[in-house]
Chain A
Amino acid sequence: MTDLSRRVFLKQVALAGAGLQAGLLSPGLASASTAPKMSIAKYRTSPAESEGVAEEAARLTRQVIKDLGGMSRFVSKGDVVWVKPNIAWDRTPEQAGNTNPDVVATVIRMCYEAGAKQVMVGDNPCNAAERTYPNSRIQPAAEKAGARVVQLDKRKFKKMALNGKALKDWEMYTDMMEVDTFINVPIAKHHGLAGATLGMKNLMGVCGGSRNRFHQDLTNVLPDLAAFVKPKLIILDGIRVLPVNGPRGGNLDDVKRKDTMVAGVDQVAIDAFGATLLGMEPKKIAHIVEAANRGLGTMDYTSLSPAESLV
């Protein structure tokens, strides 16, 4: 299945290659209804760790947003934006436990270029924030890009009514829920219980309280979160992925370079594509299936005609 999808993908890229800069993807021609719902960008090469990866991350991120119609589709002038990467674990970027810091930095820069008033970056991590924020290198990269990096303030978790199947209400971070634009920036990793942790699972970082209870019904909790938070934009980091031993990882041998990124507005489609990056079948991942069944998106991402680029 993996080989087939890769072949299909490459064929589509070859066909689309010439016409990438024109047509659908020029900002002028794109309107809300015809604008692409998903875009995929792949790097031609796999640069050596870790010098070339920074440039790769920046270029892939820019391409994948551009193919959606540009950041101005999601961020208006004067907006307050929250960029929510995965900063959960005390891991370095090479270990693929958290989102690539250069992806995060590029997203921040593009938000400011689109006229954002302020961009905030933060996550509710599993390990201590004072370790994960600097060791993931997301904090220095985000600060350099001009964002306000926030270690979450305990006072700002408020009980909110999710009215989901598993979660009736839960403590959510007010500042993340009250911004003009919320951008979910996960990384693709294996997860021992959920199968994979992608965009929907990344939303656990908006939650406070005893999240360690979620594992008793992740299949329903994650779609509940997806339905409640409804990020405006999801950008999935598939440059370095963790197909085994996630979500914590640690062993560099477990990390695989896929040199791919995907972005879009359909949470289910993004997660489905992300699962294929990990070598998994989306229909085998219970929370993706449940989210699709609830109408939160489509598992069949190809039906969205994602814009594809080779960078």
Chain B
Amino acid sequence: MKKWSDNVMWRWLLSFFRPGKGPRINLGRRNVLTAGALGVGAACLCRVHPQASGRVFNPALIRPPGAVDEQEFLSRCIRCGECMKVCPTNAIQPAGLEAGIKGMWTPVLNMNVGYCEFDCTLCGQVCPTDAIRELPLEEKQKIKIGQSFVDKNRCLPYASARPCIVCEEHCPTPTKAIWVEEIEVTNASGQKVLVQQPHVDPELCVGCGICQNKCPIKDQSGIYVTSVGETRNSENQMLL
């Protein structure tokens, strides 16, 4: 008759407590300590970067809406690329060194390639670790991921007395964050013409970047977004 203690499941469970024979994973204590030390050492070394403590901010480090604060973001993000795949405008790109080397291949928005679609929350829906939190649409539309600035040296109505307003046309906020001032300027032929010069209201702008993306000055936009003012970061601010 078979004893219950001969049962293989029971003996198997016991074998966890009795260090038996059989192959072991022999890593070598020195190797393990070295591996651990390298991990800890790398972590310490990465603190050297001025961006590591929130002392300096990179204007190109524009994170998707719903992203948590930067230090936590870098801890949570597994660089899987789900957000990069789902972004409908292809705005989310792998970072280079914008977040330091430790942030390489984390998601950043490049407004020359795409823009943050105002009615979209897909990146937050797909992130497996909630580095980008899933937000209801109304909440997402109040989140600022950056601030747009008009480059008066390039913007056509300022720099060359040519009419435009494409940026104002595309601005998606319920009350447009871009307002135009109709102003009489002199053009190249010496004629007086009326142009509409765009201005940005920083309290309304959410940094979506469609203005930068649609601006006809293709190589370097007449209006562009930088990270300042991002809701998730209480330090990277400019307004009172």
Contact = CB atoms under 8 A, between A and B. Distances in A.
Interface of A: 90, 126, 128, 130-131, 192-193, 210, 212-213, 215-218, 245, 247-248, 250-251
A305 B212 CA distance: 47
A245 B166 CA distance: 14
Nearest to B216: A212
A193 B165 contact: yes
A10 to B, nearest CB: 35
Contacts of A218: 163
Interface string B185-211: 000000000001000000000000000
Given A131-B119, A213-B216, A248 B169 contact: yes
A126 B89 contact: no
A216 B156 contact: yes
Nearest to B118: A90
B164 A192 contact: no
Choose among A128, A215, A218, A245 the residue with the greatest number of B CB atoms under 10 Å from its CB: A215
Given A90-B119, A131-B117, A212-B215, 5 more contacts: A126-B170, A210-B216, A215-B216, A217-B163, A251-B174
B168 interface: yes
Top 10 A-B pairs ranked by shortest CB distance?
A212-B216, A212-B166, A213-B216, A216-B162, A215-B164, A193-B165, A192-B165, A212-B214, A215-B166, A216-B163
28 contacts: A90-B119, A126-B169, A128-B89, A131-B117, A131-B119, A192-B168, A192-B169, A192-B196, A193-B165, A193-B196, A210-B216, A212-B166, A212-B214, A213-B216, A215-B163, A215-B164, A215-B166, A215-B216, A216-B162, A216-B163, A216-B164, A216-B216, A217-B163, A218-B163, A248-B170, A250-B172, A250-B174, A251-B174
Contacts of B216: 210, 212-213, 215-216
Contact of A248 (B156, B172, B215): B172
B169 A247 contact: yes
Given A90-B119, A248-B169, A193 B214 contact: no
A128 to B, nearest CB: 6
A193 B163 CA distance: 8
Contacts of B97: none
Given A193-B196, A212-B215, A213-B216, A128 B117 contact: yes
A205 to B, nearest CB: 15
Contacts of B176: 245
B88 interface: yes
A187 B11 CA distance: 79
Contacts of B196: 192-193
A251 to B, nearest CB: 7
Contacts of A131: 88, 117, 119
B43 interface: no
A247 B176 CA distance: 12
B180 interface: yes
B119 A215 contact: no
Contacts of B29: none
Contacts of B214: 212
A193 B178 CA distance: 14
Nearest to B175: A251
Contacts of A251: 174
A197 to B, nearest CB: 10
A130 B88 CA distance: 10
Contacts of B21: none
B156 to A, nearest CB: 7
B204 to A, nearest CB: 13
A84 B119 CA distance: 25
A210 B156 contact: no
Contacts of A245: 176
A128 B88 contact: yes
B218 interface: yes
A109 B82 CA distance: 43
A193 B196 CA distance: 8
Contacts of A213: 216
A273 to B, nearest CB: 24
Contacts of A126: 169-170
Contacts of B218: 210
Contacts of A248: 169-170, 172
Contacts of B163: 193, 215-218
